[in-house]
Structure 1
């Protein structure tokens, strides 16, 4: 027997509207006993709403596009940063009956292609550049939440020109200043900077952390030394110059954990007593050996905030703040001496 929302309503002795409100998590005026009874009937019949039919009726697809900017063709799901943001998004999306489609983006054409095949109620974009943001602004007409997307100041100062764009960022410059200052106050003066490849002249998460690192050194009257700055591609070089360092600021926990693993392989970690501090506080940071000193940025929370913002805009038609700036928290563990 095909179960319908009408049959569930008849069995529960309520209206079809009440059942619909319970399914859509909008049963604010329905008693908890009624909600429990309706959910029990839904569970008994293993009822699943026809999302395509609902989309046609409501002119809503219930589909959110999650766009990760990546220099690589395939997204690295092994990176905990990627997983933790996705976890936060999925948690809220499921609660409000949205679906997510994850897509890695290297160029504007990738977004145009995905829009040809699917109809989206909104997008969440992670780590976009200024250039990609400007292109996306032209081709996406639905609300889009940008996570960890640092742009030119003129964009934020004229945010009203981008009514469908919302930003959830960490104050990365301040977080980096805080991390570097922690090492400096421990008496370290030769502090290196270790990151993924980035352009120092283009605003980005890593570039903002680089600026914060330099600002802290200058405030402690230490001249920044480019000979202490390396990217992951230069790992073999940094391993040959470890005597130049007392501490290293690493721009991501995942990168720091890989670096510590390499130092252990080279039998250099414990022997050098090199202080290492990084960013994110991914779940593996506390499990690392030794546990990693880091700046907690709570990427899962960012994902939750981004998805909740979309829910409020799409379902509740609420006016949301276009710029949300989050602060990092220093978590001291065992990799700083």
Structure 2
């Protein structure tokens, strides 16, 4: 079926395309009878204005981009849902892009969204180092970064207090009598992972323990990474009796590795995750974890972004997570 154009409407209504544009965009003076006739023709022909043409005139596309490092990770869909609900309510369309944890792909996605003239960008847990990321942020008019603070002249930020959450997890393990605690730190280029390692080190240092760097193992942020990572930790420290994981997927992989090594959880090894994804409560045993309200994270990021579009300044908001105690580390 041929798309109805503004010229088709103008021909049928007997007016200029400029007059049609004034009516569609509700701008300028148009005689009430003429306006009524044009609206009737628009309805009869089923005309829908081109969003591309409108964006060239208004410099607004009513679209925003949201970039995530791994759409298969259950942490991110709830963020997307929170952002989407706010965008839908305010009349915006959300474009979601996945980067597969690859910094180069993340940079390319940011460039393509810039070319697509999105009104704003939400960037989740970016993997690029600051010297690469910051110039790209400058090219976007309005940006909010989730789970990483950046200079306010570049973007707003909505972050989880990962330092506090990691310290809370370690303190819980220490209070339950664990003496040899390891850390499955996630990818080394993750700012979230870096902060959680810092929290791990800070909590242990507060007890007077000497920090042993061999108790920290970087890993992929998924089940395989947790499985391989715990096996490596156990090779170096067979007496390991507690572990804090980068996220719940890593913790689930660690549970599998413990089972392979015939280590009873939590009797011989206590495991604490991060995020409280839905699978955490269904694990065997159910996973103790640090809960992050991901839906609220997405909502707040989108509300902040739309505020920037309306002229509000960039700011940083920090959300504090909570410990959820289950059977993997009672």
If the TM-score is normalised by the length of the shorter chain, which range does it land in?
Answer: 0.7 to 0.9
Say which of 309, 331, 337 aligns to 2:324: 331
Relative to structure 1, is the Cα distance of residues 48 and 291 closer, same or farther in structure 2, using a 3 angstrom cutoff? Answer: farther
* TM-score of the aligned structures, taking structure 1 as reference length: 0.73
Partner residue, 1:174: 164
C-alpha change, 1:112 and 1:283, in structure 2 (3 Å) is closer
Worse overlay, 184-193 or 115-124? 115-124
CA distance in 2, matches of 1:88, 1:48: 29
After the TM superposition, which of the residue ranges 213-222 and 56-65 deviates more from structure 2?
56-65
Q: What is the alpha-carbon distance in structure 2 between the residues aligned to residue 330 and residue 227 of structure 1?
A: 26
Q: Does the Cα contact within 8 Å between 2:137 and 2:143 map onto a contact in 1?
A: no
Q: Deviations over 1:195-249 (max 9, x none)?
A: 22316xxx81111111111111111111122222222365342343563211101
**In 2 relative to 1, CA 174–296 (structure 1 residues): closer, same or farther, beyond 3 Å?**
same
1:299 lines up with 2:294 in the alignment:
yes
Q: Which runs of 5 or more structure 2 residues have no equivalent in the other structure?
A: 5-23, 27-42, 220-224
Please name the residue that 2:177 is paired with: 187
Distance 1:224 1:170 in 2: 25
Which residue does the alignment assign to 1:85?
Answer: 79
Measure how far apart 1:54 and its partner are.
Answer: 4.8
1:147-184 CA deviation, whole Å, 9 max, x = no partner?
01145xxx4xxx3xx1x510111121111111111111
Partner of 2:29: none
Partner in structure 1 of residue 125 of structure 2: 127
User: In structure 2, what is the equivalent of residue 106 of structure 1?
Assistant: 103
The 3-state SS of whatever aligns with 1:244 is: coil
Deviation at 1:311, TM superposition (A): 2.1
1:308 aligned residue? 303
Partner-residue secondary structure (3-state), 2:94: strand
* Distance of aligned partners of 1:288 and 1:318 in 2 relative to their CA distance in 1, 3 Å threshold: farther
Which has the higher Rg, Structure 1 or Structure 2? 2
| CA displacement 1:79-133 (0-9 Å, x = unmatched) | 1122222222222222222222223262375146404641110000112232233
Q: Is the 8 A contact 2:167 2:202 kept in 1?
A: yes
Cα-Cα RMSD:
3.3
Q: Decide whether aligned partners of structure 1 residues 220 and 288 sit closer, same or farther in structure 2, where only a CA change above 3 A counts.
A: same
* Pair 1:112–1:144, CA change in 2 (3 A): closer
The match for 1:96 among 90, 93, 115 is 90
Match of 2:212 in 1: 225
What pairs up with 1:1-337 in 2 under 5 angstroms?
Answer: 51-52=51-52, 54-56=54-56, 58-68=58-68, 70=69, 76-103=70-97, 104=99, 106-107=103-104, 109-111=107-109, 113-115=111-113, 117-128=115-126, 129-138=129-138, 140-150=139-149, 155=151, 159=152, 162=153, 164-198=154-188, 204-232=191-219, 235=229, 236-241=231-236, 243-270=238-265, 273-314=268-309, 317-320=310-313, 322-337=315-330
How far apart are residue 320 of structure 1 and its match? 4.8
- Shift of the 116–192 alpha-carbon distance from structure 1 to 2, 3 Å rule, reads closer
Structure 1: 5+ residue runs without aligned partners? 4-18, 22-41, 71-75
Residues of 1 paired with 2:181 and 2:261: CA distance? 21
Give the deviation of 1:78 after TM superposition: 2.0
Q: Aligned partners of 1:332, 1:192: CA distance in 2, in Å?
A: 18
Q: Which residue of 1 aligns with 2:222?
A: none
Q: 1:134 to 1:287 in 2, by over 3 A?
A: same
Distance 1:47 1:215 in 2: 62
